[in-house]
Chain A
Amino acid sequence: MEILMSIVVGVLFTSAVYLILSKSLLRVIIGTALLSHGAHLLLLTMSGLKTGDAPVLLDGVTSYTDPLPQALVLTAIVISFGVTAFFLVLAYRAYQELGTDNMEEMKGNESND
């Protein structure tokens, strides 16, 4: 299962990097969102999958899934959401001000200063 998940994560990273390298700002942001999905899954995978029950204390259960990576992923999800939201609004404001979402056109040059 872990090898399968590693491959899935690899595919997510591939698509994310390809999107990040594209011209359109919106696609770049989609790429970063994909990248964070990949990272979260990778975090969880690396601690081992399905080693026990959900980490909620129950009588009679002896083996639980590792709770620590879950806590880490939860933190990461919230942070990446904050950053994505900020980034999206930034892109929205950039559309409004510059009238474009093309990264190539956003190249800084002397006349724009």
Chain B
Amino acid sequence: MSLLHIAIVLPFIAAVFIPFLFKGFRNIHTGWFVLLVPLALFIYFIQYLPVTSGGQTVSKTFEWIPSLGINFNAHVDGLGLLFALLITGIGSLVVLYSIYYLAKEKEALHNFYVYLLMFMGAMLGVVLSDNLIVLYMFWEFTSISSFLLIGYWYDKERSRYGAQKSMLITVFGGLSMLGGIVLLYIMSGTFSIQELISMSGSLMQDPMFIPAMLLILLGAFTKSAQFPFHVWLPDAMEAPTPVSAYLHSATMVKAGIYLVARMSPVFAESGIWLWLVAGFGLFTLFWGSFNAVKQTDLKGILAFSTISQLGLIMSLLGLGAAALHFDQLDENIYMGATIAAVFHLINHATFKGSLFMVAGIVDHETGTRDIRNLGGLVNLMPITFTIALIGTFSMAGLPPFNGFLSKEMFLLATLEILEFNLFSMDTWGILFPVIAWIASVFTFIYSIMLLFKTFLGKLQLDKLPKKPHEAPIGMLISPIVLGALVIVFGFFPNLLSNSMIKPAVEAILPSLVDSGQEVYVNIYFWHGFTPELFMTIGIVLFGTLLYATLGKWQGIYNRIPEQFTINGVYDRGLEKGESGSFKLTEGIMTGYMRTYLLYIFGFFVAILLSTLVVRDAFSIDTSNLAEIRIYEVILAVVMIASAITILFAKSRLTSIIALGAVGYSVALFFVFFRAPDLALTQLVIETVSVALFLLCFYHLPEISRKEERMGFRFGNAVISILVGITITLIAISAYSNSSVFESISQYHIDNVYKLAAGGNMVNVILVDFRGFDTLFEICVLGVAALGIYAMVHFRGVRRQKG
């Protein structure tokens, strides 16, 4: 186990000690201890930067289940490191923020930090694992810890609802992903991502390729809240704000993005991948931004904004797949999409993290997050306002912040795809820039709305539960750091380009780098009067116009009826699923034994008769039959008559006696068939059985002594006649084919005296050749006798209770 492995599991190890620290040091906020973990990890991972920017990767092996090919192989490359730095860096800031956000007197901090550390470790495992099964394991760990964190205030009904919803959706996706992983393993024989990448060309030909891709994408889309699986994210906002900032903007929701980026080298050559990833991403971008304008809750706006921005990154990753179809790197315009995706990934983590923290501060200091009650906070909370301004302007894509740069690159990428002449991109591709532009207008509107409605306008002190004032400095540090990064990355984007973006892009498009060419990343602030600049100007103009007239057109949101929303479908689906399965169980499990017996006999008949028919197995062969004598015919008639009598007897006594008649005829048959021992036993046992039946009959309770004929039921009759026919047919067919092999009985006949010194073959077989059967048959009788004794003797448990 190398240091790298220890780094990945360090949060898990630390989580073990958190409850002790919480109990042991009551006067120190537990968060201070926790803070050390992500800080140390961040510093540790920084050390890998020179390695990956030099184009190198680090792999460390730790054998877990080598016989199944499941090994905890850590693999650090540009993409993994970028995520690891995001996770630990923003993790440190979020822990710092949470120290001031959560009060140590009121909250169950030990739970909170244990879950948070679990999540951090799981996330590191996801991004640094090379083995797909290990990746899946950590993936589900993130789902579980996210579930725990969303339900942190478990006494609130909304929290529990949100936690359950996110759990159901993400675990559904996770399981699909496992299916995809298994399919990949069947195709390739390996769980290692690096090995899969090296054989991606041959995988394309496999018939399982498309199903595997769809299943993996399902996992990625559910985790990253892509349409229509985005519904869990807004409800996850019931979590404490540090959790929302960390999990639901910067890290966990990007796990799906990571997976798509990571699996791109395997799948991206296929046109389906390009269309699915880019198409779903783009629609999510539009849908998220369109719905964000409707929200009135600060975190609601941010949740839909996160959905929309994730869609943006996803569609860029999809568009970036176009680059694989052109070999020349220096003129490959489609690579810009991947660069933009990585750049926006970093940008989004910075500004969205700070905005969530701002929302948390506003909530903490005013007591509400409803923008209808907020307003005019600019003078009271100037620092918070500044951070919010930076964050929202960056989110809207305005200069000079980093969001502007990545938005420009995004628009450029959607324009360039028009020149791509594969997969009917040149005709339908026109939708990409159009939808992207509309979505950007909505992004502008909700960003401005978020800022203006919270901080400008009239202060409504009477509507606020608390008297607002500026937040304590400790709470402001993290958003200030993130806001500063927004500006730094905005002015000096090339700080990142060689150290982080280039290695990440190389990891997403390895086949292009293999030919010895270098990815050239240079992000300009100003590159002349290009089409995308005019698009941005259009966004600002049009967005301002729409924001000014918001009240006039907001009514369109109410046009969509509740039951047609995705949430409505989810809720009704869950309800219908529950009531449907309840009805199904109610319908099948009636509680009557007759029903179950009907199922059993019906199944018996259906299987056997259909097999007989399908395999054409019925045969009849009269060559081997014994002759029929008149006695036997008479006996058979008597037996059949008594059996039928039982069915039609009115009195139970008659049926018991008829049963006895059947038993004695069986004994007579045994006589005819040369089985003296059987005849003897049958006679005795039939006598005792009839006596027992009579005993039972005598003890019938008075009320139901009323004798009645058995009611006729058509279904019963059909089933029982079918059972009888099946048995007869199979018996005849089996007997007709029975002379294929000799019986082994000649051995018994020959050796009964020689080896066992007996003359009665049946008895010798019972006690000598096959004595074991007899031993356990004696046991059966013994157990039955003991059971009867117990039933008769031990009674009264029920009476003592009653």
A: residues with CB less than 8 A from B are 1-24, 26-27, 29-30, 33-34, 37-38, 40-42, 44-58, 64-68, 70-71, 73-75, 77-79, 81-86, 88-93, 95-97, 99-104, 106-109
If A64-B749, A74-B766, A89-B788 touch, does A9 touch B723 (CB 8 Å cutoff)? no
Cβ of B615 < 8 Å from any Cβ of A? no
**Least Cβ–Cβ distance between A20 and chain B, in angstroms:** 6
In contact, A68 and B744 (Cβ under 8 angstroms): yes
Closest 5 A-B residue pairs measured CB to CB? Answer: A14-B724, A10-B728, A17-B720, A82-B784, A67-B761
Identify which of A17, A75, A107 contacts B777 (C-beta below 8 A): A75
Assembly CA distance A24 to B650 (angstroms): 12
Identify which of B628, B681, B759 contacts A57 (C-beta below 8 A): B759
Chain A residues contacting B723 (CB-CB under 8 Å) are 13-14, 17
Assembly CA distance A99 to B666 (angstroms): 34
If A2-B626, A88-B696 touch, does A10 touch B791 (CB 8 Å cutoff)? no
In contact, A54 and B676 (Cβ under 8 angstroms): yes
In contact, A49 and B673 (Cβ under 8 angstroms): yes
Mark the stretch among B66-74, B278-286, B498-506, B633-641 that contacts chain A: B633-641
Query: Can you list 15 contacts pairing A with B, beta carbon distance less than 8 Å?
Result: A11-B724, A19-B646, A26-B696, A42-B731, A46-B735, A51-B626, A55-B674, A65-B674, A67-B748, A74-B681, A77-B681, A78-B681, A85-B784, A89-B792, A92-B699
In contact, B594 and A84 (Cβ under 8 angstroms): no
In contact, A67 and B765 (Cβ under 8 angstroms): yes
Assembly CA distance A43 to B601 (angstroms): 21
In contact, A93 and B791 (Cβ under 8 angstroms): yes
Chain B residues contacting A70 (CB-CB under 8 Å) are 675, 677-678, 762
Chain B residues contacting A6 (CB-CB under 8 Å) are 727-728, 731-732, 735
**Least Cβ–Cβ distance between B780 and chain A, in angstroms:** 5
Cβ of B644 < 8 Å from any Cβ of A? yes
In contact, A88 and B748 (Cβ under 8 angstroms): no
In contact, A22 and B716 (Cβ under 8 angstroms): yes
Sample of 16 further A-B pairs with CB below 8 A, known A8-B636, A71-B773, A100-B703? A1-B632, A2-B626, A24-B652, A30-B646, A45-B731, A50-B672, A64-B749, A67-B745, A70-B762, A73-B678, A74-B678, A75-B766, A78-B781, A85-B692, A88-B696, A92-B699
In contact, B713 and A21 (Cβ under 8 angstroms): yes
Cβ of B689 < 8 Å from any Cβ of A? yes
Chain B residues contacting A103 (CB-CB under 8 Å) are 592-594
Q: Among the interface residues B590, B663, B749, which one has the most CB atoms of the partner chain A within 10 A? A: B749
Q: Among the interface residues B762, B777, B787, B795, which one has the most CB atoms of the partner chain A within 10 A? A: B762
Assembly CA distance A39 to B34 (angstroms): 73
In contact, A26 and B697 (Cβ under 8 angstroms): yes
Assembly CA distance A21 to B488 (angstroms): 82
Cβ of B64 < 8 Å from any Cβ of A? no
Chain A residue nearest to B733 (CB atoms) is A6
Q: Among the interface residues A11, A23, A55, A104, which one has the most CB atoms of the partner chain B within 10 A? A: A55
In contact, B760 and A20 (Cβ under 8 angstroms): no
In contact, B711 and A23 (Cβ under 8 angstroms): yes
Assembly CA distance A9 to B689 (angstroms): 20
Assembly CA distance A51 to B738 (angstroms): 14
**Least Cβ–Cβ distance between A29 and chain B, in angstroms:** 8
Instruction: Render B705-741 as a binary contact track against A, CB cut-off 8 A, 1 for contact.
Output: 0000011010011011101110110011011001000
If A8-B636, A55-B749 touch, does A48 touch B624 (CB 8 Å cutoff)? yes
Cβ of B701 < 8 Å from any Cβ of A? yes
Chain A residue nearest to B753 (CB atoms) is A57
Cβ of B535 < 8 Å from any Cβ of A? no
Identify which of B626, B647, B663 contacts A48 (C-beta below 8 A): B626
Chain B residues contacting A86 (CB-CB under 8 Å) are 784, 787-788
Chain B residue nearest to A18 (CB atoms) is B720
Assembly CA distance A93 to B788 (angstroms): 10
**Least Cβ–Cβ distance between A9 and chain B, in angstroms:** 6
Chain B residues contacting A37 (CB-CB under 8 Å) are 662-663, 666
In contact, B759 and A56 (Cβ under 8 angstroms): yes
Chain B residues contacting A89 (CB-CB under 8 Å) are 692, 788, 791-792
In contact, B598 and A4 (Cβ under 8 angstroms): no
In contact, B780 and A79 (Cβ under 8 angstroms): yes
Cβ of B656 < 8 Å from any Cβ of A? yes
In contact, B682 and A77 (Cβ under 8 angstroms): yes
In contact, A17 and B724 (Cβ under 8 angstroms): yes
Assembly CA distance A28 to B693 (angstroms): 12
Chain B residue nearest to A67 (CB atoms) is B761
Chain A residues contacting B674 (CB-CB under 8 Å) are 50, 52-55, 65
If A2-B625, A21-B716, A30-B693 touch, does A7 touch B728 (CB 8 Å cutoff)? yes
Identify which of A7, A19, A68 contacts B765 (C-beta below 8 A): A68
Cβ of B774 < 8 Å from any Cβ of A? yes
Identify which of B701, B710, B759 contacts A95 (C-beta below 8 A): B701
Chain B residues contacting A81 (CB-CB under 8 Å) are 685, 688-689, 781
Assembly CA distance A14 to B591 (angstroms): 24
Assembly CA distance A12 to B639 (angstroms): 9
Cβ of B597 < 8 Å from any Cβ of A? yes
Assembly CA distance A75 to B784 (angstroms): 15
In contact, B643 and A44 (Cβ under 8 angstroms): no
Chain B residues contacting A2 (CB-CB under 8 Å) are 624-626, 732, 735
Cβ of B655 < 8 Å from any Cβ of A? yes
